[in-house]
Amino acid sequence: MPASPPDPAGSREREVRHRAARIEDWVHDLHVRWARRRGQVPTVVPYTGYGSTEWVRVFCRVLLSRPIAEDERSPRRRRRRDQGIRGWRSFTSAPVGDVPVLIEIAGHRLEVLADRGGVVDTRVPVELAPGWHQATLSTAGAEPVEAPIQVLSPEVSFGIISDVDDTVMVTALPRPFVAFWNTFVLDEHARMPTQGMAVLYERLIRAHPGVPVIYLSTGAWNVAPTLTRFLSRNLYPSGPLLLTDWGPTHDRWFRSGRAHKEQNLRRLAEEFPGIRWLLVGDDGQHDEAIYAEFAAEHPDSVAAIAIRTLSAGEAVLAGGRGKADQNVVDVPWVSASDGSTLADLLADAGVL
C-alpha cells in the first residue's frame, strides 16, 4: 500500500509545538547554568493548597536563588523561608524542572517531580481533619518550607471562587501590562483593593461559617507570594490561589488563561460535588462567558454569579466588556460596580 501523503497542516503544528518546547528548554538550560555558576541553590517557594478529608492538592515552585548565609539574623532567614522569592526576583530567578520534591504531611511522605517550569501541582492521598494544616516541602540542597493546606469539611455546601485582577484588586491598566506593572513597578503596599469587595466576602463568611474562598486567576505563579500578602493586608479571607505558568505548552506558544479557568472550575466541581459555588468576577472580557458556560454545564455546582462592572475607563483598558447571555443559566446573577452593592443584591437573591 502506498504511503499516505504528508499532512502539511499537521507538520506545521508539530513544528510549532516542538520549536516552542525546544526554545523554552534552551532558555531554561542557559538560565540554570548561569545561576549555578553564580552559586545559586534550589529554593522551594510554597503556595497555599486545599483538599478534602481524604486527599490534598499541594502547590510549590522550585527556583534557583542566592543561598542564605548561616550568620544572617534569624528574622531575615524566617522571612526568606516563609515568603520565598519576592517581587521581580520571582520572575528573574531560574526555575528548576524535573527535580524531586519531598512532600511530608501528617506522617505521609511522597516524592514528586517538578514540571519543566519548576512547578509542583500534585494530589496527595492522606486523611486529615477539616481545618488548616501544614505540609513540609523539601528538595536536595534547599531548606524545608511549610505550605498551608485548607481541608474542607464534607459538610461544607457553599464556597466562593473569585477572580483577582479588576475584581478584588484594581489594576486600571491595559491587560498586557498588568503583570509587568504589578510585579516590577508597583509595591504591594500601593496596590488598590476594589471598593467594598472585602466587606462582601466578610458578610459571606459570617453568613456561611467555614466557607472556602478560592482565588482563580490567570496570573503567573511568580506573583503568588505578593498576592497573598495583598489579600491579607486588605482583610480578604485566606484561601488557595489557582494561578498558571507562563510560556509555551506542548501545542501552543502561550498558555490560554481562559482554558486555565475553565479547567479548574470543572476540576473543583468534580472534586467537591456537594459544594455550590458563588462565582465572582468582572465584566472585562471573559469572566461572564466562562461563568455562564460553567453554570450551564454544572447547574448544581453554582449558587450564584456576581459580576463587578468596570467603569468606562477600566473597560477600555481591559480590552472591552464581556458578552454573555444571562438567560442561558438558571442561577441568580447580580452585577454592580462595588462589593457593598453586590452584597445587597446577593442578600435580595437569598445568597446572603
Domains of the chain, residue spans: 37-151, 158-348
Q: What is the pLDDT of residue 329?
A: 74
Residue 186's contacts (CB-CB under 8 Å, 6 or more residues apart) are none
Rounded Cα gap, residues 106 and 294, in angstroms:
35
Rounded Cα gap, residues 42 and 141, in angstroms:
6
What rounded mean pLDDT belongs to the chain? 79
pLDDT digits (tens, 9 = 90+) for 147-187: 999 999 999 999 999 999 889 988 655 555 555 555 554 55
Smallest CA-to-CA distance from 92 within 64, 118, 69, 67 is with 64
Rounded percentage of the chain residues whose pLDDT exceeds 90 = 47
Q: What is the pLDDT of residue 1?
A: 43
Residue 111's contacts (CB-CB under 8 Å, 6 or more residues apart) are 100, 101, 102, 103
Q: What is the pLDDT of residue 96?
A: 81
Query: In the chain, where does DSSP find H-type helix?
Result: 8-37, 74-83, 89-92, 175-180, 197-207, 224-233, 257-271, 287-297, 312-317, 339-348
Task: Decide: 151 and 131 in contact? Cβ < 8 Å.
Answer: yes
Residue 242 confidence class, pLDDT cut points 50, 70, 90: very high
156 beta partners: none
AA letter at 214: I
User: Is pLDDT above 90 for 200?
Assistant: yes
Smallest CA-to-CA distance from 339 within 211, 170, 217 is with 170
CA distance readout (Å), 255 to 15, 20, 71: 17, 11, 42
Q: Provide mean pLDDT across the span 299-311.
A: 91
Which of 2.60.40.10, 3.30.470.20, 1.20.1090.10, 3.40.640.10 would CATH assign to domain 37-151?
Answer: 2.60.40.10
Q: What is the pTM of this model?
A: 0.81
Cell numbers found for residue 221: 505563579
Rounded Cα gap, residues 84 and 225, in angstroms:
7
Q: What is the pLDDT of residue 258?
A: 82
Fold of the CATH domain 158-348: Rossmann fold (3.40.50)
Which carries the bigger pLDDT value, residue 97 or residue 51?
51
